[in-house]
Copies of this chain bind each other. A is one copy, B any other.
Amino acid sequence: MITKTLKVIPLGGLGEIGKNMMVFEYGDDIIIIDCGVLFPGEDMPGVDLVLPDIRYLIENQKKIRAILITHGHEDHIGAIPYVLSQINVPIFAPRLAHGLISVKLKEHSLDKQTELNQIEPGVNYNFGSFGIEFFRVCHSIPDAMGIVIDTPIGKVIHTGDFKIDHTPVDGKPTDLALLARLGSDGVVLLLSDSTYAEIQGYTPSEQVVKEAIFRAIGEAQGRVLIASFASLISRIQHVIEAAVYHDRKITFVGRSMVNNVAMAQEMGYISAPPGTIVSLQEAIKLPSEQLVMMTTGSQGEPTSALVRISNGTHRDISVEIDDTVIISATPIPGNERLVSRTINNLIRKGANVLYDKIALVHVHGHSSQEELKLVLNLVKPRYFVPIHGEYKGLVAHAKLAENTGVDQENIFVLEDGDVLELNGAEAWIAGQVQTGQVFLDGNTTIDMESSTLRERRALSKAGIVLVISMIDGITDRLTGEVEIVGTGFVDSDRLGFVSRKVGPMLSESWDRGDFLVSDLVKTNKKIKRIVSDILYKETGKRPMIVPVILQV
C-alpha cells in the first residue's frame, strides 16, 4: 500500500526562496501559492523580466487545482500571464490583487480564457484534498492575506508577506486571534515570511510615518512633493489625509501613480473629500502653500516624474526654493546611487528634502524578529519552514524557531526545488525537482548560461570590431582593402587611426598566403589573435573581434 504524503516545494529560484511560488501537493492535487517575477539585475543586460522555471508544473498540470494569490505585489502576481500562457489554471485572489490581475490579463489578451476568482477572508474553499481559508495580514499593500491549508495530514499555515501592525491604516490588523486558535487546535506546519528575520526588534507601525508626514506638511512653507511606491495605497491615503488636515489640495504625478490612485479610489481603498484631488493642470495654478503633489520616482528611476523634476526636465513641474520634498521609501539594493543623485539634485535646486537617513518617512512591510517569534509562539507548529528570504534570512528565522521551542530536527531550511514530504508522523526531504529562473528577453526566454548574455556582457566592456575581407575564392587573394568597422570600442577618429595600422597588416598576411579560405576556422582564429594583439597594444582594450570573410 502506498501512503500518500504532503509535498511542499518552493519553486522558481528568483533569489528569495519560496517567495514567488510555493507548491503544495497531495496525491493527485496541487495548489500553488503566488506567481511572481523579479526585475533583472546588472548581470542580466537587456533582460526584461526574471521568471520562475515552471517545468515541474507543466509536467504535472493535470493535478493543478488553483493558483492562490496572497497579495498584489509584482513579485507575487507578475508571472501570471507567463504561466497562464503555458497552463490554464483558475486563480483565486483577494479583492485588490484581483483588480490588478484583471488589468494584467487584459493586457496579455488572457482575460477571456482565464478563470479569475475573488476570495474573501474567513471563507472556506475546497480544492480536491485541500481546504483553504485566507486570513488578513498587514503588509505594504491593502488586502494582503495569509493562507490556512487544511490537508489530510493536518493544518498548514502560510503567512504570506506580513508584519504585525496594531494600528494599520485600513483598520484591519493581522489576524492574530485566528493564529492563536489554530495554534491551540494544533498546526502541523508553519511557513513564515523571513524577509527581515535578521533584524532585531519590531517593525514600526505605518502610523509612525503618518505622523512624520503630517508634521512635515504642517511645517512646509511652499509646495510639498512626496515620492513613494504607486502600490503603497495606505501611504497615499495618509498623504491625502495630511493634505486635507493642512488645507491643501493634492495632485498625483506619474503614470503608475495616477492609474493606481484611480483604481484604488474606484475600488474604495482610497477616499478623499470632494475637491481634494485636483488635476495637474489645476494644481500648477494653485499657490504653493495650498498644494501637495504625490509622484513616482522614489527609487530614482531615470524616466520617473521625480527624477525629471530633479533634473529640471519635467514639462510641468519645477522645484523651487522653499519646496519640501519627501522621499517616502528606502532604496531597494542596487538603486542607492540613483536615489542619492536625485536627492542631491533636488537639494541643489533649493528644496528641503526629507529622506530615510534623516527622517522617519518610510517603514517597510515585513516582520522583524519579535513579530516572527510572536507568530511562532502563537502557532506552536510541529514543523517549521522559513520562506520568503535569502538563505541567510531563512537560517536566521530557523534560529528564532528553535529558540521558541520548535524541535531542531523539525525545522527545514529548503532551497527552491527541494521537496519536503510529510506524512503526519515524520517529515523528510525526499528529493529535488527541476526549477530555477528563466529570463524574458523580448518575446522569448533565455537563461543565465545563454551565450547571448555572455556576448552582451563582453560587448559592454570594449565593444566590437569587424574585420571584413573580400576574397577571390579561387586565388585566396584579397579583392580590395581589409575593412575595419567598430562600435563601442574607441571613438571614431581613433578607430580610423587604428584601422590604418591593422588593415595593411592583414592585407599582407592574405597576400603572403597566411590565411586560407579553405580553412575558415583556423583563418578566423588567426585573424582574431593578430587583430586583438594589435588593438590591445594600440588602445589597451580587447574588443570582441568578428572576422567576416566574403568570397567573390
Interface residues of A (CB under 8 A from B): 41-42, 45-46, 198-199, 333-334, 336-337, 340, 343-345, 347-348, 353, 355, 357-358, 390-392, 395-396, 441-444, 446, 450-452, 455-464, 466, 468, 470, 479-480, 483, 485, 487-492, 494, 539-541, 544, 546, 548, 550, 552
Question: Within the complex, what minimum Cβ distance (angstroms) separates A271 from chain B?
Answer: 35
A462 contacts B333, C-beta separation under 8 Å: no
Residue of B nearest to A355 (CB): B392
B-side contacts of A441, CB under 8 Å? 490, 540-541
- Beyond A391-B348, A539-B444, whether A489 also contacts B452 by CB under 8 A is yes
Helix, strand, loop or mixed for chain A's interface? mixed
B-side contacts of A470, CB under 8 Å? 470, 550, 552
A442 contacts B348, C-beta separation under 8 Å: no
B468 contacts A463, C-beta separation under 8 Å: no
B462 contacts A46, C-beta separation under 8 Å: yes
Whole-angstrom CA separation of A470 from B345 in the bound complex: 51
- Beyond A391-B347, A539-B444, whether A337 also contacts B455 by CB under 8 A is no
B-side contacts of A451, CB under 8 Å? 491-492
- Beyond A199-B357, A451-B492, A550-B550, whether A392 also contacts B485 by CB under 8 A is no
A and B contact pairs by CB, cutoff 8 A, 19 listed: A199-B357, A333-B337, A334-B336, A336-B336, A340-B392, A343-B392, A347-B395, A355-B392, A441-B540, A442-B541, A443-B539, A444-B494, A456-B488, A459-B460, A466-B485, A466-B546, A466-B548, A468-B550, A548-B548
10 extra interface residue pairs, beta carbon distance < 8 Å, beyond A353-B392, A464-B464: A42-B42, A333-B340, A343-B392, A444-B494, A444-B539, A446-B491, A451-B491, A452-B488, A485-B546, A487-B546
Question: Within the complex, what minimum Cβ distance (angstroms) separates A124 from chain B?
Answer: 38
B-side contacts of A199, CB under 8 Å? 357
Question: Within the complex, what minimum Cβ distance (angstroms) separates A116 from chain B?
Answer: 26
Question: Within the complex, what minimum Cβ distance (angstroms) separates A393 from chain B?
Answer: 9
- Beyond A347-B391, A392-B353, A450-B491, whether A540 also contacts B444 by CB under 8 A is yes
B-side contacts of A334, CB under 8 Å? 334, 336-337
A461 contacts B46, C-beta separation under 8 Å: yes
Question: Within the complex, what minimum Cβ distance (angstroms) separates A442 from chain B?
Answer: 3
B-side contacts of A391, CB under 8 Å? 344-345, 347-348
Whole-angstrom CA separation of A348 from B548 in the bound complex: 47
Which listed residue (B390, B396, B461) contacts A358, Cβ 8 A?
Answer: B396
Question: Within the complex, what minimum Cβ distance (angstroms) separates A532 from chain B?
Answer: 13
- Beyond A333-B337, A479-B552, A541-B46, whether A461 also contacts B456 by CB under 8 A is yes
A464 contacts B459, C-beta separation under 8 Å: yes
Whole-angstrom CA separation of A483 from B485 in the bound complex: 15
